[in-house]
A and B are shown apart, each in its own frame.
Chain A
Amino acid sequence: MGKERVLIANRGEIALRIIQACKDLGLDYVVLYTKEDEFSLHVRIAQQEESGFKKAYRVANYKDPNEIFSVADEAECTAIHPGYGFFSENYGFARRAAMRNRPLTFIGPRWEVIRDLGSKINTKRLAKDLNVPVIPGSDGSIYNELEAEGVAEELFFLQKEQGIQHPSILVKASAGGGGMGIEEVCHLDAFRRTYRRIQNYAKRQFGDEGVLIEQCLRDYQHLEVQLLCSSHAEVVHFGTRNCTIQSAGRQKRVEVAPGFDSAVCEYAFDARAVLDRIVKYSVRLAKHAGYDNIGTWEWIVSRDGSPYLMEVNTRIQVENEISACISRLNGSNEPPNLIRDQIRVALGDRLGFTQKNISFEGTSIELRIVAEDTKRGFVPWCGTITRFDYPDEPWARLYSHVPRDTPYKIPTEYDPNFALAIIWGQDTEQAKERARQFQNRTIIEGKGAGDESIITNLEYLYDRIDDVLQF
Chain B
Amino acid sequence: MDINLNDLLRRYRSHPFEDYPVETPHTGVVFLKVKEGQTVKGPGGEWLHRPGTMLYVIERERNVKRTTALWSGQVSGIRLDIEGQFVEAGELLFSIRHQLDKEEIIDRILTQVLYILPAPQRARYFLAPEISARMEKQPKEGVSVESGDDVLIMSLMKRDTVISYEGVPGALYKVYFKPGDTVEQGSPLLGICPPDKLRYVQKVIQRIRTEWEK
Interface residues of A (CB under 8 A from B): 34-35, 57-60, 64, 66-67, 69-71, 74, 180, 200-201, 204-205, 249, 379-380, 382, 412-416, 449
Contact = CB atoms under 8 A, between A and B. Distances in A.
Contacts of B25: 60
Interface of B: 25-28, 60-61, 63, 86, 88-90, 121-123, 126, 129, 155-161, 182, 185
7 contacts: A35-B90, A57-B88, A60-B25, A66-B63, A74-B27, A382-B157, A412-B123
Nearest to A200: B129
Contacts of A69: 61
A35 B25 CA distance: 12
Given A66-B60, A380-B157, A414-B158, A60 B185 contact: no
A71 B155 contact: no
Nearest to B157: A380
Nearest to B28: A70
A70 B60 contact: yes
A59 B157 contact: no
Given A58-B88, A70-B61, A380 B129 contact: no
B27 A67 contact: yes
Contact of B27 (A60, A204, A380, A382): A60
A414 B89 CA distance: 18
A205 B27 contact: no
B212 to A, nearest CB: 36
Contacts of A415: 157-158
A373 to B, nearest CB: 12
B26 A59 contact: yes
Given A66-B60, A414-B158, A449-B185, 18 more contacts: A35-B90, A60-B25, A60-B26, A64-B26, A66-B61, A66-B63, A67-B26, A67-B60, A70-B26, A70-B61, A180-B158, A204-B126, A204-B160, A205-B155, A249-B159, A380-B156, A412-B122, A412-B157
Contacts of B88: 57-59
A60 B158 contact: no
A449 B60 CA distance: 38
A59 B27 contact: yes
Pick the 10 closest A-B CB pairs, nearest first: A60-B89, A58-B88, A380-B157, A60-B26, A66-B61, A70-B60, A70-B27, A412-B122, A74-B86, A59-B89
Given A70-B60, A200-B129, A449-B185, A58 B89 contact: yes
B26 A205 contact: no
Nearest to B126: A204
Contacts of A413: 157, 182
A382 B90 CA distance: 24
Contacts of B90: 35, 58, 60
B182 to A, nearest CB: 8
Contacts of A64: 26
A287 to B, nearest CB: 35
Contacts of A66: 26, 60-61, 63
A57 B89 CA distance: 8
A57 B27 contact: yes
A201 B155 CA distance: 10
Contacts of B129: 200
A379 B159 CA distance: 9
B107 to A, nearest CB: 26
Contacts of A180: 158
B55 to A, nearest CB: 18
Nearest to B186: A449
A201 B129 CA distance: 12
A60 B158 CA distance: 17
B87 to A, nearest CB: 9
A382 B121 contact: yes
Nearest to A178: B158
| B25, B60, B161: residue with the most chain A Cβ atoms closer than 10 Å | B60
B180 to A, nearest CB: 8
B157 to A, nearest CB: 4
Nearest to B26: A60
Nearest to A417: B157
Contacts of B27: 57, 59-60, 67, 70-71, 74
A58 B28 CA distance: 11
A452 to B, nearest CB: 13
Contacts of A201: 160
A57 B26 CA distance: 11
B59 to A, nearest CB: 9
A349 B210 CA distance: 77
Contacts of B157: 380, 382, 412-416
Nearest to A382: B121
A416 B123 CA distance: 13
A223 B203 CA distance: 67
A204 B153 CA distance: 11
A461 to B, nearest CB: 19
A64 B25 CA distance: 12
A180 B159 CA distance: 8
A205 B122 contact: no
A43 to B, nearest CB: 12
A380 B159 contact: yes
A340 to B, nearest CB: 29
A204 B155 contact: yes
Contacts of B158: 180, 205, 414-415
Nearest to B155: A204
A274 B185 CA distance: 51
Nearest to B59: A70
B90 to A, nearest CB: 5
A200 B160 CA distance: 11
A64 B61 CA distance: 12
A65 B121 CA distance: 28
Contacts of A59: 26-27, 88-89
A416 B182 CA distance: 17
| B25, B63, B89: residue with the most chain A Cβ atoms closer than 10 Å | B89
Nearest to A69: B61
A35 B159 CA distance: 20
Contacts of A67: 26-27, 60, 89
A416 B86 CA distance: 32
Contact of B121 (A60, A200, A412, A414): A412
